[in-house]
Chain A
């Protein structure tokens, strides 16, 4: 359990916790750390994200501007990317039937990166699928006003993320205009670790916040503590593609989990490390829903109150998603059952 009475000690211990997660040198502020990704592995990750996005555009039957420069490609085609049928209002580019191989390739390269950082020894579970997200300066204002819009400062706890830290990786784009602001809440109460359908209610659980100096830079992986406040920051015209996904560390059960509601825990879509590590090898994340189905029935815009809130973690996984073991060609995980509320 967490001792909220001494905030300094609490954040210092969280800082040490983040530092302990990887075997490489980390830099940053207390609740957000960055570490450089090995250059060759980062190139593979960027390549796989590029191939995935191109494949999504093709299967959406969108024409697009070709460029040999990945960042330029994203900037030129950002508006189209956000309009794809498999993109959620919060910008998550969901894998569908036609694009599952490319998506699993991204998972595979993330696996190599996490392995290189030595993170697997420090965690028990990792969320699948990871979120690959596009954010632009031209996003619909009505999306930005949603109670759980990503541009509002928030802790991942408030979304029922059932994790104790997250990893963020900027992949492409103009981070000088579209990035994430990281902040340290000050004067937090125990109510900070609660789920809130409206981020405005979460903001009432601390007195003030300090904006961190750590900013997103291409080529780095960010370890974001569950206490870290964060939100998408738009400072000009541009676009960004990034990856985010959450973890349950070896400490999660004894420290953070007790604060989550049973409803959130029932919706847990984190997988054991051993299962997660096989994605892209013998396990494949697979969605039977096609892009054309998504065009006709976008589940993330269902008229339920919860979906309209945006960003509920369980809604980030399609109800038609499965994990298949290729050795047996059988489903080993059906995410729909995990989504049961």
Chain B
């Protein structure tokens, strides 16, 4: 039986990405330019230092372990691991995101996207999951999921980049759909039983190497996965919307549609524009059960 929705997605993926970058018909893996990846790592360390409220001696090596030790005292980390920017970390956050978008802009696929959901986040994945964090209003990242279940576009491409820490053992597992895939499953209201999903999906044997960006179609089921020996990991995830549409109807929640931004603009964070994260440490924005981004910010244009 031919699945036209799936074929349409595969066809679009082929048009967006070079053949040699496809590790699966719906997953691309692309090595970022080394010096730009280093910039992302350094700006991430500077951001994490500012979140901790302290630096480290001699070099940034201790930041990751200091962050791990501070786990219980950190007020600005969400249950899904978003390290939220606040007024005291706003500048570093802008510089981190700029380094990220600038690295993406150097790649051929960048111009094939019209929008991205914003703001993107540096996310921490602790070595072990907390039981309480698994009980999320929508789903925990540790459960197999589509990002569209969080209201993001069903036509999106998710970009994942392991930045710091144990990106090999504390990673994401990917699952490939077969022809029994149903487009409606991408909408939270039509979320199928896990049994049904397992019948239509099989795990992909792919572990992204360090410095590689992974880009996956929304129809790729995925989950946070930790080996027993897993250590802390930091990564950036962001959902982009390709210029090339799909035949199916796009589903995107209203709150998420408001998050769509031209990624070219974000390459100029810190000059033409700036996220001003206006909450103090410990202040929490109501994310309406995970339907909108939990970052409180004003997006300021400085172009004029």
Contact = CB atoms under 8 A, between A and B. Distances in A.
The answer to whether A binds B is: yes
Given A281-B88, A326-B300, A101 B271 contact: yes
Interface in B54-100: 54-60, 87-88, 90-92, 94-95, 98
Interface string A77-103: 000000000000000000001111110
B274 A284 contact: yes
Contact of B46 (A41, A47, A104, A327): A47
Given A326-B274, A326-B300, 11 more contacts: A48-B46, A51-B43, A97-B271, A97-B302, A100-B271, A101-B94, A101-B98, A101-B269, A101-B274, A105-B95, A281-B90
Interface string B249-283: 00000000000000000000111001010100000
A72 B75 CA distance: 38
Give the 5 A-B residue pairs with the shortest CB-CB distance, closest first: A101-B270, A40-B55, A326-B276, A39-B57, A44-B55
A212 B87 CA distance: 43
B35 interface: yes
Q: Which range holds the interface residue count of chain B? A: 20 to 34
Nearest to A104: B91
Interface of B: 35, 42-43, 46, 49, 54-60, 87-88, 90-92, 94-95, 98, 269-271, 274, 276, 278, 298, 300, 302
A51 B91 CA distance: 13
Given A97-B271, A286-B302, A326-B300, A39 B58 contact: yes
Contacts of B58: 39, 43
A47 B298 CA distance: 27
- Max chain B C-beta neighbours (<10 A), residue from A40, A42, A104, A282: A40
A114 interface: no
A66 interface: yes
A280 interface: yes
A125 interface: no
A43 B91 contact: no
18 contacts: A39-B58, A40-B55, A40-B57, A43-B55, A43-B57, A47-B42, A51-B43, A51-B95, A66-B35, A99-B270, A101-B91, A101-B270, A102-B270, A104-B91, A281-B88, A326-B298, A327-B276, A327-B278
Contacts, number: 69
Contacts of B298: 326, 329
A108 interface: yes
B51 to A, nearest CB: 13
A169 B92 CA distance: 22
Contacts of A100: 270-271, 302
A250 B276 CA distance: 33
Q: Is the interface of A mostly helix, strand, loop or mixed?
A: helix
Nearest to A45: B55
Contacts of B55: 39-44
B275 to A, nearest CB: 10
Contacts of A326: 274, 276, 278, 298, 300
A247 to B, nearest CB: 23
Contacts of A105: 91-92, 95
A54 B60 CA distance: 18
Nearest to A42: B55
A104 B60 CA distance: 21
A47 B98 CA distance: 17
Contacts of B42: 47, 51
Contacts of B95: 51, 101-102, 105
Contact of A98 (B87, B91, B271): B271
Contacts of A99: 270-271
A324 B302 CA distance: 10
Interface string A35-57: 00001111110011001000000
A329 to B, nearest CB: 5
A172 to B, nearest CB: 15
Contact of B56 (A43, A48, A282): A43
Given A100-B270, A101-B271, A326-B300, A40 B90 contact: no
Contacts of A282: 87, 276, 278
Contacts of A43: 55-60
B274 A44 contact: no
A120 to B, nearest CB: 16
Interface string A299-341: 0000000000000000000000000101101000000000000
Interface in A6-50: 39-44, 47-48
B54 to A, nearest CB: 5
A280 B90 CA distance: 8
Contacts of B59: 43
A281 B276 CA distance: 9
Contacts of A329: 298, 300
Contacts of B57: 39-40, 43
Contacts of B49: 44
Interface in A275-294: 280-282, 284, 286
Nearest to B43: A51
A324 B94 CA distance: 17
A273 B88 CA distance: 17
A51 B87 CA distance: 21
Nearest to B300: A329
Contacts of B87: 281-282
A101 B91 CA distance: 7
